[in-house]
Amino acid sequence: MLNEAYVQSRDLKDGIRAIEFFHPSHNSLPSDLLVQLAQAITDAGKDDAVHVIILRSGGDRTFCAGASFNELVSIKDFETGKKFFLGFANVINACRKCPKPIIGRVQGKAVGGGVGLASAVDHCFATKFASVKLSELAVGIGPFVVGPAVERKVGLSAYTQMTFNATEFYSAEWATEKGLFAEVSESIEKMDEAIMVLAQKLAASNPEALRLLKEVFWKGGEGWDELLDERAAMSGELVLSEFTKDALKRFA
Structurally, the chain folds into a number of domains equal to 1
Residue 108 lies in a domain: yes
Provide, rounded to the nearest whole percent, the portion of the chain with pLDDT above 70. Answer: 99
Residue 146 lies in a domain: yes
Residue 212 lies in a domain: no
- Nearest-5° Cα angle at 236, 234 to 237: 70
pLDDT at 1 over 90: no
pLDDT at 248 over 70: yes
| DSSP codes, 35-82 | HHHHHHHHHHHH-TT--EEEEEESSSS-SB-EE-HHHHHH--SHHHHH
Residue type, 145: V
CA separation for the pair 210, 235 (Å, rounded): 34
pLDDT at 196 over 90: yes
* pLDDT of amino acid 145: 98
Burial bucket for residue 206 (CB in 10 Å: 0-12, 13-18, 19+): exposed
CA separation for the pair 172, 177 (Å, rounded): 9
Residue 160 lies in a domain: yes
Q: For the chain, first and last CA: distance in Å?
A: 24
CA separation for the pair 149, 116 (Å, rounded): 6
Give the domain range for residue 57: 6-188
CA separation for the pair 205, 228 (Å, rounded): 32
User: 2-6, 20-24, 163-167, 231-235: lowest mean pLDDT where?
Assistant: 2-6
Element (DSSP H or E) covering residue 25: none
User: Alpha-carbon Rg of the chain, whole angstroms?
Assistant: 17
Q: Is 130 helix (H, G, I), strand (E, B) or coil?
A: coil
Query: How much is the mean pLDDT over the chain?
Result: 96
CATH of the domain at 85: 3.90.226.10
Residue 68 lies in a domain: yes
pTM for the whole structure? 0.96
Residue 171 lies in a domain: yes
Q: What is the pLDDT of residues 140-193, one digit of tens each?
A: 999 999 999 999 999 999 999 999 999 999 999 999 999 999 999 999 999 999
